[in-house]
Structure 1
Amino acid sequence: MDRNVSSFTVCFQPPFWVGISERWTADGYEAARVVFGPEPSDAQIYQWLGVEWHKLRFSPAAPGERARVRPENPKRVRREARKTLESSGAGTRAQQALAREREQAGERLRRERRQRRLQSEEERFRLRQQKKREKKRGR
């Protein structure tokens, strides 16, 4: 039986502190981002996870298989955890997923804006035609 796996990383992306959530589901890899603003304390993060976690909007699932986790040497695990904390943020996969979500949101906004513009142009054209007909009838 395969389980869903998730992780939550808090990092500093100037000028704000940001939390990046990554999760593997049966559908694939998903990521979400939340901006905290000033540096949050551990208590604030735990409180946020308890209250706001379910409201996160994850990116669409990217197909792929989760890497299998195998037991490792505890010293190596500590060393890698320290390197992760020293590194500059979450993995590129999360950044790609968030960028993909931003692109999709932008595409949706462009479509909606274009639709509104076309509707207003049609309305203006219809009004001009109506005025032209009324002038021709002598009104």
Structure 2
Amino acid sequence: MQISVSSTLTVYHDGQFWVGLAEHVEGGRYGAARIVFGAEPSDEGILRFVVGKWERLAFFGGEPAEASKPAKSPKRRAREAAKTLKQPAMGTRAQHALASQRETMKRESAHARSRRRAEEAEARFEQRKLKRKQRHRGH
């Protein structure tokens, strides 16, 4: 049995930091990892990273990635890499907790806002009803 393995590292500037996108195709499974370098890395720094830390990258996140078809063409690999970059980067447990708390607060405030608008509309309707009644009575 023969397993084909292919890995690429693309280093680019995302507007704020220098970021590396490591792509790895092994036995039909595609995985990607995002590495933030910060300042512009030198060629030696990139080489040290590849030699020292490449094997510790979690390409597949501990769970099997899409194992249906391997990335065949460079264009397809580029599309998959762009898709991976659009997904939010993995954060710490605290960041995930804060994000979920923000989402909960957003839902609660939207619910309160809609309830307040409904109550104001009801109050305006009651006011109009009262005025109509007073006009009808001739006051």
Query: What TM-score, normalized to structure 1?
Result: 0.51
Tell whether 2:75 aligns with 1:67. Answer: no
Aligned partners of 1:49, 1:24: CA distance in 2, in Å? 16
Aligned partners of 1:14, 1:52: CA distance in 2, in Å? 25
Question: Which has the greater radius of gyration?
Answer: 2
Tell whether 2:92 aligns with 1:91. Answer: no
Please state how far the C-alpha of 1:92 moved relative to its aligned partner.
3.1
- 8 Å Cα contact 2:20/2:34 also seen in 1: yes
Aligned partners of 2:88, 2:29: CA distance in 1, in Å? 15
Please state how far the C-alpha of 1:52 moved relative to its aligned partner.
1.4
| RMSD, matched Cα | 3.2
Cα deviations across residues 12-32 of structure 1 (Å, max 9, x unaligned)?
Answer: 111111111001112521100
- 8 Å Cα contact 2:19/2:38 also seen in 1: yes
- 8 Å Cα contact 1:31/1:98 also seen in 2: no
Question: Counterpart in 2 of 1:14?
Answer: 15
Question: Counterpart in 1 of 2:49?
Answer: 48
Aligned partners of 1:11, 1:37: CA distance in 2, in Å? 11
Name the CA shift for 1:68/1:12 in 2 (closer, same or farther; >3 Å): closer
Aligned partners of 1:2, 1:17: CA distance in 2, in Å? 32
Question: Counterpart in 2 of 1:83?
Answer: none
Cα deviations across residues 100-138 of structure 1 (Å, max 9, x unaligned)?
Answer: 5748x89xx46xx79xxxxxxxxxxxxxxxxxxxxxxxx
In structure 2, list runs of 5 or more residues that go unmatched.
Answer: 102-139
Aligned length: 90
Aligned runs of 1:1-139 on 2, under 5 Å?
A: 1-60=2-61, 61-63=65-67, 64-67=69-72, 91-100=78-87, 102=89, 109=96
In structure 1, list runs of 5 or more residues that go unmatched.
Answer: 70-89, 115-139
Q: Runs of 4 or more off by more than 6 Å in structure 1?
A: none
- 8 Å Cα contact 1:31/1:59 also seen in 2: yes
**Structure possessing the higher relative contact order (Cα contacts under 8 Å, 6 or more residues apart):** 1
Question: Counterpart in 2 of 1:80?
Answer: none
Query: What TM-score, normalized to structure 2?
Result: 0.51
Name the CA shift for 1:98/1:58 in 2 (closer, same or farther; >3 Å): farther
